[in-house]
Structure 1
């Protein structure tokens, strides 16, 4: 439900960073490549995020830009690849190089990435080749997508969640709410619509 977080970087290691924002310190799992691009601790930084919510765990994943996050989400569509493996893949390659390897149908290059065997590399190519879209979406579209993903993680059907979010966002009194509160209102109303 968050598009990005902007705050002070307090600590970073090979797999995660800590970001202080309004007195709260967030632990964010990130690809190693993204972590190496961050400024030193103590500096302000914006991290694009994806919140994974399942029955027993909530994890916040971070990315240096929206394209990297989009590729992460696309990797999750490949059968057998979960968030941790997707992060591991992104830790070993830049987005543009990954796209080139997909376009070139280069299974051998993909198998050199951490944790990727030939079978999984072939599955990635079959699933994603020619299907990646990196259009920068407006913040509202990204927020709606995050809300839909959260609802699906809660057990709701994706199509029903999409319809509920669209309906909740189009309600007249939702449009009058300040942007900072809009996501929460849409999320609550979508749950009510899905539960009725």
Structure 2
């Protein structure tokens, strides 16, 4: 089991990073809420990981904290929630936002997440509430929601939009929905696709 990696960020292409550890490159899938917090390329980081092995593929998921990884591990235990859906959920909501939605039984908010219908939303509330009862409520205390008001109003930047749309599709959104999420943001001089993705995801909550 690979549970932690310390290395140098070689590439960042949302929601994946390429991390070099002793001349070996590890491709790591990360929730966008974790991806946003990463330092620039060529910076050293510690990533807490969860390794999944299947017959046809091996996947490595990464998180900035052990608490975020714990939440991911609990999510994939829920019936009908696989790693891809868990990644999408934690990309659209911070850990604290998700916990709040579960505790307040916010079915409508949960249904806005990609591939989450009413049945899955209700199952998440029922099963995750039981999980949280066994965990300390302040487990994710340090994980606050992003303050979108601090962001500049975004404009239509072709290259950044293209990357952002591709990232949203990889998170489970349909191509048409992903394009609409980005184009609705309007125009800006902002060329950072990470900010485009972050704002688009925040707008659906």
Indicate the TM-score class for this superposition, using the shorter chain for normalisation: 0.5 to 0.7
CA distance in 1, matches of 2:81, 2:24: 31
Deviations 1:21-77 (A, max 9, x none): 100010001111111110010000111100001222211111111111111111111
Deviations 1:127-174 (A, max 9, x none): 1114133698xxxxxxxxxxxxxxxxxxxxxxxxxxxxxxxxxxxxxx
CA distance in 2, matches of 1:113, 1:26: 28
List aligned pairs for 1:61-76, cutoff 5 A: 61-76=61-76
Deviations 1:159-193 (A, max 9, x none): xxxxxxxxxxxxxxxxxxxxxxxxxxxxxxxxxxx
CA distance in 2, matches of 1:105, 1:48: 29
List aligned pairs for 1:5-154, cutoff 5 A: 5-132=5-132, 133=135
CA distance in 1, matches of 2:100, 2:33: 17
2:80 partner SS? coil
What's the TM-score once normalised by structure 1's chain length?
0.66
Aligned-residue Cα RMSD (Å) equals: 1.5
Unaligned runs of 5+ in 1: 137-196
CA distance in 1, matches of 2:26, 2:52: 14
Per the alignment, residue 163 of structure 2 pairs with: none
Contact 1:103 1:130 in 2 (8 A): no
CA distance in 1, matches of 2:84, 2:130: 24
Tell me how many residue pairs correspond in the alignment. 136
Contact 1:50 1:62 in 2 (8 A): yes
CA distance in 1, matches of 2:57, 2:35: 23
Unaligned runs of 5+ in 2: 140-205
CA distance in 2, matches of 1:115, 1:65: 26
Please identify runs of 4+ aligned residues in structure 1 that moved more than 4 A.
Answer: none
Larger Rg: 1
Deviations 1:93-150 (A, max 9, x none): 00011111111111111112232211111011111114133698xxxxxxxxxxxxxx
